[in-house]
Structure 1
Amino acid sequence: MPLIRRTTAGAGRPLLPRWGRSSRAWIDRSHGDERVELLRKAAANGDWPGVRAVLDAALDGVDLTWLVEAVMTVGGVETWIPAVVEAEPDAALPLLVSGARHIEWAWEARTRKMAKYVSKEQFEVFHTRLRVAEGQLYAVAERAPEWVAPWYLLQISGRGLQVGQAVAQRRFEAAVRRSPGHLAAHRQHLQQVCRKWSGSHARMHAFAREAMLGDVPGGPLGELVAIAHLEQWLDEDGDVDAPAGSGYMGRSAVVLELYEAAERSVHHPDHVRHRDWTRGFNTFALAFALAGERDAAADLFRVLDGSVTEFPWMYLDGQDPTVPFRTWRSRAGA
């Protein structure tokens, strides 16, 4: 099925399609949203008034979550945000930023390596920072009970602290009560129910399919089905050198489910490209490429025109996701 090329303006600068057949590949962490660049610059400079001005102007709870995620990855925020929290003891926003940053800071200490390669000392720092984040985010949830952001972030900290499936489920439900269809919260819960986080393949696929079927026509949650298949592929073989269309991803049932999910989301005429729409397109591009569906993958690669998201390519190259992107784009003939 040919990809229906439709764009709409998202938050911030309109996200326009790129139609050139460029050989470029780059990671655009702002996703075309000028506010993200403003935030990251202000955060890097320790400019709390500048950060707060952008966050205060968030369009809604989903938008606030999106913007806080942009701040949490900026190194050095942890050095100046404690003073802001102290100066504004009753405010929710400084605590939200601090809690978010402590989560990312914790994962930086743990590193992205497998657990067996992480030292006892690294785990201690990891858990200490996550516990700080949890305390701050629960305080935010009390002060701003309508915000989805703390519950979204508690999904991430909880997974690191291994709070268990029951607690994780309650945190996910708290997030989607405040923002039904919240894509980022669904992504986090999908990770939670993966086998690698004490879930199972069956539970992961059931969650992805149920979310997709419950979404509006053209909604983004079909992406979860593609992620789930990539996760099982990684768990079962993950052989990037195997011929495209072989192994798990080449199974006919998997291919059919990928097409169904794409037709309900990125291929649907009502699909709207908001915020990080390129992540969904990158996810389907890799899934179709691995499945040996060259035309379907090529169409997605052409729309992306070199715009790479760290997920899912980080699974193939954690140092430079643009490398596997280029490789699989070439294999797809795009």
Structure 2
Amino acid sequence: MIVDDHNGRDDVRLRPALDAVAAGQWQVARESMVPTRTDFDRRSYVSGVLAEAVVGVRQRELRRRRLTPGEQIDTTYAWPDVWVAAEPDNPDAHLVRARSLLIRAWEVGRTGWAEGINERSLPEFVRLTELAAIEADEAARLLPSDPNPWAFRILLSIPLSAERPAMEEAWQEVIARDPGHRMAHDVKFLYLCERWLGSHEAMYHFARTAAATAADGSPLHILPICANAEWSARRPRGGQTPEQRWAGAEFNADLDNALDRWFRVAQTRHGMWHEDANTLAYGLWRAGRHAEAKPVFAAIGPYATASPWAGTVRGRRLSFRMARRAAMRGGLLRT
């Protein structure tokens, strides 16, 4: 199977829109965002993939060289910058620009989410993240009912190393508007991970508490699987091996819960459906439950998400294909 990397995946409306905005047509982004003002889950997804479409030729040039001391990148040329300038009272424009500025900040930092920030690029990274915070605040002001600017604020807490009370304040704003907001749970989970500002214990506690209190059909049942994938990538020395943990009774109960209370009963697909389905498929593969993984891979199709596959020894594409083959044919070596 050929892996499809397009961020629009199987969304027949969004795929052509992303191609258009990548060419600078911000009006198409506006048309894509307007229907999301009362669908906060889709708003989270659409604003995120639109923002990712900003990374283009000039950002790739930045990755090939280091910024000189004091150098700043242009924050007026990209289509979200132009959109905000043209429609300064549009909350959609400010939300997308906020998210795009953080993506541009990580591009400047060069090393990405997993490794941290290049020291030489740190001043520009901070400037861009501060601009992103300003844009998020404006998006929240213009559409007070929207939880997404607050969820984005939680995400910003990670690179800005915000103290936990500040993160929790943004979290309370989110859940007051949408208690089951998937992106907010994802970014708070990241904040609580050991690789960022938390610990394995805090991560597992949050993930299992969220799953235990989630309704049937909620994607929050996938969070303990996310936690196990994160633990396996950054496990402490000594103690259990990843193989032992994936085979353990507690983790297999988490898999049963995700299958029975989310995947098999959900009536609709949420914005992060492909990320969550890939995580479930990965967990079933690591646990050797190939027959149960088969319908999950069938539903996923060719859309292998970066997480969790990119963290495997063999990389995203090969590991996804290996796991899918194991599910379809009944058994392959796990990694």
Q: TM-score if structure 2 supplies the norm length? A: 0.81
Task: Among all aligned residue pairs of Structure 1 and Structure 2, give the percentage whose two residues are the same amino acid.
Answer: 23
Which residue pairs with 2:13 in the alignment?
35
Listed one character per residue, the Cα deviations across residues 186-231 of structure 1 (whole Å, up to 9, x for unaligned) are: 1111111111112122221121122112222122111111101111
Distance 2:257 2:296 in 1: 15
Which residue pairs with 1:9 in the alignment?
none
Distance 2:189 2:323 in 1: 25
Contact 2:41 2:182 (C-alpha < 8 Å) held by counterparts: no
Contact 2:139 2:149 (C-alpha < 8 Å) held by counterparts: yes
Distance 1:273 1:94 in 2: 25
Contact 1:27 1:310 (C-alpha < 8 Å) held by counterparts: no
Contact 2:8 2:18 (C-alpha < 8 Å) held by counterparts: no
The alpha-carbon distance between structure 1 residues 307 and 81, as it changes in their structure 2 partners (threshold 3 A), is: closer
Which residue pairs with 1:249 in the alignment?
246
Which residue pairs with 1:291 in the alignment?
287
Distance 1:289 1:53 in 2: 39
Residue type of the alignment partner of 1:315: G
Q: Alignment RMSD, CA only?
A: 2.6
1:182 partnered with 2:181: yes
Residue type of the alignment partner of 2:42: D
Distance 1:301 1:60 in 2: 27
Contact 1:317 1:323 (C-alpha < 8 Å) held by counterparts: no
Q: How many residues align?
A: 304
Distance 2:93 2:298 in 1: 41
Distance 2:6 2:19 in 1: 15
Listed one character per residue, the Cα deviations across residues 162-192 of structure 1 (whole Å, up to 9, x for unaligned) are: 1122212222221222122111211111111
Contact 1:308 1:322 (C-alpha < 8 Å) held by counterparts: yes
Distance 1:62 1:330 in 2: 32
Contact 1:220 1:265 (C-alpha < 8 Å) held by counterparts: yes
Distance 2:22 2:3 in 1: 25
Distance 1:218 1:91 in 2: 33
Runs of 4+ aligned residues of structure 1 deviating over 6 Å after TM superposition are none
**What secondary structure sits across from 1:57 in the alignment?**
helix
Gaps spanning 5+ residues in structure 2: where? 57-75, 331-335
Q: TM-score if structure 1 supplies the norm length? A: 0.82
The alpha-carbon distance between structure 1 residues 300 and 187, as it changes in their structure 2 partners (threshold 3 A), is: same
Distance 1:207 1:295 in 2: 29
Kindly state the Cα deviation for residue 251 of structure 1 after the two structures are TM-superposed.
2.2
Kindly state the Cα deviation for residue 271 of structure 1 after the two structures are TM-superposed.
4.7
Distance 2:204 2:113 in 1: 25
1:63 partnered with 2:42: yes
Distance 1:220 1:114 in 2: 24
**What secondary structure sits across from 1:246 in the alignment?**
helix
Which residue pairs with 1:321 in the alignment?
316
Q: How does 1:8-157 map to 2 (within 5 A)?
A: 23-58=1-36, 59-74=38-53, 75-76=55-56, 79-110=78-109, 111-112=111-112, 114-115=114-115, 118-157=117-156
Which one scores higher on RCO, CA 8 angstroms, separation ≥ 6? Answer: 1
Kindly state the Cα deviation for residue 300 of structure 1 after the two structures are TM-superposed.
2.2
Distance 2:114 2:186 in 1: 21
Residue type of the alignment partner of 1:144: L
Which of 242, 258, 265 is equivalent to 2:255? 258
Q: How does 1:181-220 map to 2 (within 5 A)?
A: 181-220=180-219
Contact 1:225 1:257 (C-alpha < 8 Å) held by counterparts: yes
Gaps spanning 5+ residues in structure 1: where? 1-22
**What secondary structure sits across from 2:158 in the alignment?**
helix
Greater mean alpha carbon deviation, residues 93-102 or residues 127-136: 93-102
The alpha-carbon distance between structure 1 residues 36 and 283, as it changes in their structure 2 partners (threshold 3 A), is: same
Listed one character per residue, the Cα deviations across residues 237-267 of structure 1 (whole Å, up to 9, x for unaligned) are: 79xxx9xx82332223222222223222113
The alpha-carbon distance between structure 1 residues 275 and 121, as it changes in their structure 2 partners (threshold 3 A), is: same
Which of 320, 326, 330 is equivalent to 2:325? 330
The alpha-carbon distance between structure 1 residues 51 and 299, as it changes in their structure 2 partners (threshold 3 A), is: closer
Residue type of the alignment partner of 2:262: S
Residue type of the alignment partner of 1:209: R
